[in-house]
Structure 1
Amino acid sequence: MAATRRIAVGVAVAAVCASSLGGCASGPEAPRQGAPGAPQKGPQLPGSLVRLIGDGSTAYTGAQPHLPRPERLKAGEKPPQFVVFSWDGAGEDGQRLFSHFREVAKANNATMTFFLSGVHLLPREKRDLYRPPRHAAGSSDIGFNDARGIADTVEQVRLAWLEGHEIGTHLNGHFCGPDGGAGKWSVEEWKSEIAQAKQFVKTWRTNAGLNNAASLPFDYDKELIGGRTPCLEGRNNFVKAGSELGFRYDSSGVNNQVWPGKRDGLWDLSMQLVPFPGHTSEQLTTDYRFMGDQSGTRTQGDPAQFDSWGEQMRDGLLKGFHRAYDGNRAPLVIGNHFESWNGGTYMRAVEDVVKEVCNKPAVRCVSFRQLADWLDAQSPGTLAELRTLRVGEAPKQGWASFLPARPAPAPKGAPGAPGA
């Protein structure tokens, strides 16, 4: 009973944070919420507001705060410029990049998608609980975590969700390449990988022995609606598996800067090709592809090149942004990692882009969930018209005469539809 009361108080703290827009104690005077042994203090909410799930690692605490209601475009209205910043394998370690980019987002009117790897919430001593497809139990190409790393990551995931960010999945062991890589996995193997990613999020409290840490304030079975595969491999079967499991989008592909459609019922929210400064070719909107063309397989190349490499990525992303902003207004999708590759130059480049674009008129820096909500709210005829615009192409007669005057009603039950 005492353990149950401690869990309930922890959830209450999370719920209070939500209602006060993140007004919980912080700084050196306050213990880090979720740290091993940190006391859980705060007012007790009525039990009817909180429903613990399983061992209390997660809990239902109501609708996610700070999610805007999507609105349907009116006839002749210019679409907003959506930009999605997403992070593969998001976790908090000694670099503190998760917490840093939460602050960057807060200062620049942005929400983001954090793709959590399930094994980041699994301690090394419990590694055999992971049964990866076509690999021995307990295998992982990105390792596992310890209690402090799990507590720190859970704390950031909790705060991010309360601030309106999305928690997606980057699956688990990050297996790439021809020998057992995810590119060869079947639909059923992907279903197993997805189920295990969910399970590790739903049982981190028991697995890591963090009985005093506050619950994650969401039901992950409902929260999880999309992800990105490791190395962008195995996408076809992953999309089929995700479709059967109720996902709403996938971001494991490569596309041009055009308006998205659907694959197997999922929104295709792929990363995109943007101008590559100094080259005639284009580059994918992700740090590791820029790094690959700059320093090859070395994650720490020539320090004399760090600044210019970061500027090259920043300028390429900005060129892609302006091409859409002044053209077809297609959503710009950017994917990155919490890494210090080449001296952290790509982190600085992304931060510069957030500050440059997210405060512009008619720009919405959103999560994939928010973008999918908006797409679902639009008339199919409107989206079909938008998809006729090529990369960088604005309507020849202007936006006022471009979209249909009488869009068809939204599908029943779609966000923004009557009676939804």
Structure 2
Amino acid sequence: MPELPHACDVLRDEVDVLRTLAPSEQRFVRHGTYTGRSVSVRGALDPVALGEAFDFVRREYPVVACRIMEDTAGQGYLLAPDEQAWTPASVRQGDVETVDPPVVDPAGQLAYLDVVGSGADQWRVTLFAHHSIADAGHCVGLLSGLWDFYTRIVDCAPITVVPQAYPKPLEWYVEAHGIVRSVASGFEDVTKPLPPETDVVPAAGEPTSSTLARPLRARLDPDTTTRIVALGRKSGVTVNGLVTAALLRACASETVGGAVPLGCLYPVDLRSRFDPPVAAAAGTNMAGMASFAAEVDPSGSLMELAQRISGRLARDLSSGIVHQSVLHFPDFYGAARTYSLAGHIAVTNTGVVPAFRTPAAIALTDYEIVYLSAHPRPSAGASASVTFLVYTFARELTVGLLGGGANTDGLLAAVRAELTALSVACV
């Protein structure tokens, strides 16, 4: 990867600097983290038209062409785009069953499109967006826009580009709504103070080559998924609560012994919880954080555990704990952190993936969440023991797994078993 220019060299021109990134955005700068959405495509895809659609995405969402630079302390700055340096879509022939890390550079632009074809009608299309400027909601919105523009191009339909304003961080919306930091962060169940002598900023070292994390997955069929959703409606417990309980039980079942103390930390999308609601493209990382801890017994009641998880989240939302949690982020992430989150179970539930608009000649047959680190360096943030990614695409509930060590296969099998048992409970 080419050496990044020194931020101070750029920051002399203050017109070029849009703003300093907020703490909710800064935590993705150190690794150059891009969040990716990868879809399998069957049919007569026109890669030239898809490249044109990607250019329309750049015009409608100018933030994706922006740049991020760092100063010597690792502080991230959002810079205006260099219109002459835009990297167009990468199109090549290859194995559509793999996802290869593309060459990306946060100092160049914040979104990349990778298109791989195999034969005449098998494709993989992966859109990468830097996590500092796009969370799950925004990234899916970008992908939806890409396919909408593509469909209009191949169908010769009129195209109107409406440039969106640069998105604002969650901290901006919290302040605008008069929310202030409380004594409690909401993370207390999964944190412990760092010893005073702890070096919270590991030696920077040289960034290594880009790395891609592609979670292993457990996928449920539509009938099983429908039964789990029906159980949530019937019991009055959220699907998020049911699935999170199943994931915690799966982790506990892979530990020798009875009840196991487990702590869970998960993001909560706050877009719809502000008045007025925040549009997908109007916010960067709009997730507050919620936590839950319990002695989890695999032989106990899953429903009782799910009720406790849902009840805790409902209380933390109604009390405002989740909304103000972002104001505590400096205590838990980055160079100024004073608490450790090491060892928690991370669960990110991005919900139902919308149906993307596509022309009749193609069909999207699969959807995955992947992560790309443009310049991996030693971590200065929270360390999860295992990370679960939960989403539903084409009526199929999917759980992706990152981490898990040597027992990854066993843990994924336990996840499938717990979710299958959960669906049977509705019969």
TM-score band by shorter chain is under 0.3
What TM-score, normalized to structure 2?
0.27
Higher share of residues assigned strand? 2
Higher share of residues assigned helix? 1
What TM-score, normalized to structure 1?
0.27
